[in-house]
Amino acid sequence: MPTDTQTDPYNLVRLPTEMWDIGRVHTYDKNTKVHSRAHIKKLMSSIAADGLFDALIVDADGVLIAGHGRYAALVELGHKVVPVKHAAHLSKNQADAARIAHNKTASTDYDSGLMAEEMKRLMEADDVDISVLGFDENELDFLIDDLGNMDLGAISTDLDQDIDDQEAETNDKVKATDASSEKVVKALGFNAIPIDGVKHVRRFIAAIEADTGKTGADAFVEFCRGR
Question: 138 and 166 share a domain?
Answer: no
At a CB cut-off of 8 Å and minimum separation 6, what does 145 contact?
none
Q: Give the domain range for residue 22.
A: 4-149
Query: pLDDT over 70 for what percent of the chain?
Result: 62
pLDDT of residue 134: 52
Q: How many residues does the chain have?
A: 227
Coil, helix or strand at residue 207: helix
Question: 95 and 207 share a domain?
Answer: no
How many folded domains does the chain comprise?
A: 2
Q: Is 5 exposed, middle or buried (0-12, 13-18, 19+ CB in 10 A)?
A: middle
- Any bridge partners for residue 33, and if so which? 110
Question: 195 and 88 share a domain?
Answer: no
Single out the residue in 127, 149, 171 at which a domain terminates.
149
- Alpha carbon distance 15, 84 (integer Å): 9
Question: 109 and 197 share a domain?
Answer: no
Single out the residue in 149, 181, 203 at which a domain terminates.
149
pLDDT of residue 117: 73
pTM of the model: 0.48
Query: pLDDT over 90 for what percent of the chain?
Result: 24
Residue-wise pLDDT for 92-130, tens only, equals 999 988 888 777 645 445 555 666 677 777 777 777 776
pLDDT of residue 151: 45
Question: 118 and 211 share a domain?
Answer: no
Question: 133 and 179 share a domain?
Answer: no
- Alpha carbon distance 201, 208 (integer Å): 11
Residue-wise pLDDT for 206-216, tens only, equals 888 888 888 87
Question: 69 and 111 share a domain?
Answer: yes
pLDDT of residue 85: 95
The list of the chain residues with pLDDT below 70 reads 1-9, 104-116, 130-187, 189-191, 227
Question: 18 and 121 share a domain?
Answer: yes
- Alpha carbon distance 79, 88 (integer Å): 23
